[in-house]
Chain A
Amino acid sequence: MNVFDIIGPVMIGPSSSHTAGAARIGRMARHLLGEPVVKAHVLLAGSFASTYRGHGTDRAIMAGIMNMKPDDKRIRNSLEIAREKGIDFAMEPGEIENCHPNTARISLVGETGKKLVMQASSVGGGNIMITEINGLRVDISGQYLTLVVVHKDVPGMIAIVTTAMAENGMNIFNFTLSRDKKGGTAVMTIEVDGEVGESINGIISKLPNVSSSTLIKPL
Chain B
Amino acid sequence: MLKYNTIRELTEAAESAGKKMSEVILADQAEDMGKTEKELMDKMASDLAVMREAAEDGSKKDVKSASGLTGGDAYKMKQANDDGKCVCGGIFSDAIAKALAISEFNASMGRIVASPTAGSCGIMPGVILAYQDANGTSDEDCVMSMFTAAGIGMTISKNATLAGAGGGCQAECGSASAMAAAALVELAGGTPAMSENAAAIAIKNVLGLVCDPVAGLVEIPCIKRNAGGAATALCAADMALAGIESKIPADEVIIAMKHVGDIMSPTLKETAEGGLAATPTGKAMFEEVFGTKK
| Further pairs besides A3-B40, A54-B65: 11, Cβ < 8 Å | A2-B2, A6-B149, A6-B157, A7-B113, A8-B113, A11-B118, A13-B108, A13-B110, A14-B66, A53-B289, A71-B111
Q: How far is the CB of A6 from chain B (nearest CB, A)?
A: 4
Whether A14 pairs with B146 at a CB distance below 8 angstroms is no
Q: How far is the CB of B149 from chain A (nearest CB, A)?
A: 7
Chain B residues positioned under 8 Å from A75 (CB to CB) = 109
Whether A9 pairs with B218 at a CB distance below 8 angstroms is no
B115 to A, closest residue via Cβ: A7
A19 within 8 A of partner (CB): yes
Q: How far is the CB of A62 from chain B (nearest CB, A)?
A: 13
- The 4 A-B pairs at the shortest CB distance, nearest first, are namely A13-B106, A6-B153, A3-B150, A54-B67
Chain A residues positioned under 8 Å from B29 (CB to CB) = 2-3
A50 within 8 A of partner (CB): yes
B147 within 8 A of partner (CB): yes
CB contacts under 8 Å to A, within B145-182, are: 146-147, 149-151, 153-154, 157-158, 162-163, 165, 179
Taking Cβ atoms with an 8 Å cutoff, the residues of A that contact B are: 1-4, 6-16, 19-20, 47, 50-51, 53-56, 59, 71, 73, 75-76, 124-126
B105 within 8 A of partner (CB): yes
B147 to A, closest residue via Cβ: A3
B105 to A, closest residue via Cβ: A13
Whether B32 pairs with A2 at a CB distance below 8 angstroms is yes
Give the interface centre of A7, A10, A14, A75 by most chain B CB atoms within 10 Å.
A14
Whether A10 pairs with B292 at a CB distance below 8 angstroms is no
Whether A54 pairs with B216 at a CB distance below 8 angstroms is yes
Whether B154 pairs with A6 at a CB distance below 8 angstroms is yes
Which range contains the number of B residues in contact with the other chain?
35 or more
B1 to A, closest residue via Cβ: A1
A76 to B, closest residue via Cβ: B109
Whether B107 pairs with A14 at a CB distance below 8 angstroms is yes
B217 within 8 A of partner (CB): yes
Give the interface centre of B69, B105, B157, B217 by most chain A CB atoms within 10 Å.
B217
8 Å CB contact of A54 from B32, B111, B163, B289? B289
8 Å CB contact of B66 from A56, A71, A73? A56
Q: How far is the CB of A123 from chain B (nearest CB, A)?
A: 12
CB contacts under 8 Å to A, within B75-121, are: 105-119, 121
Q: How far is the CB of B276 from chain A (nearest CB, A)?
A: 16
Give the interface centre of A7, A9, A16 by most chain B CB atoms within 10 Å.
A7
Chain B residues positioned under 8 Å from A59 (CB to CB) = 66, 109
Chain A residues positioned under 8 Å from B241 (CB to CB) = none
A71 to B, closest residue via Cβ: B111
Whether B112 pairs with A13 at a CB distance below 8 angstroms is yes
Q: How far is the CB of A23 from chain B (nearest CB, A)?
A: 11
Please measure, in the bound complex, the distance between the C-alpha atom of A8 and the C-alpha atom of B44, giving whole angstroms: 9
Whether B111 pairs with A51 at a CB distance below 8 angstroms is no
| In the complex with contacts A3-B40, A3-B150, A11-B114 CB distance below 8 A | yes
Q: How far is the CB of B134 from chain A (nearest CB, A)?
A: 22
Please measure, in the bound complex, the distance between the C-alpha atom of A126 and the C-alpha atom of B114, giving whole angstroms: 10
Whether A3 pairs with B290 at a CB distance below 8 angstroms is no
Chain A residues positioned under 8 Å from B119 (CB to CB) = 14-15
Whether B292 pairs with A55 at a CB distance below 8 angstroms is no
Chain A residues positioned under 8 Å from B146 (CB to CB) = 7
Please measure, in the bound complex, the distance between the C-alpha atom of A183 and the C-alpha atom of B97, giving whole angstroms: 64
Chain A residues positioned under 8 Å from B50 (CB to CB) = 10
A57 to B, closest residue via Cβ: B66
Please measure, in the bound complex, the distance between the C-alpha atom of A47 and the C-alpha atom of B272, giving whole angstroms: 12
Chain A residues positioned under 8 Å from B25 (CB to CB) = 3
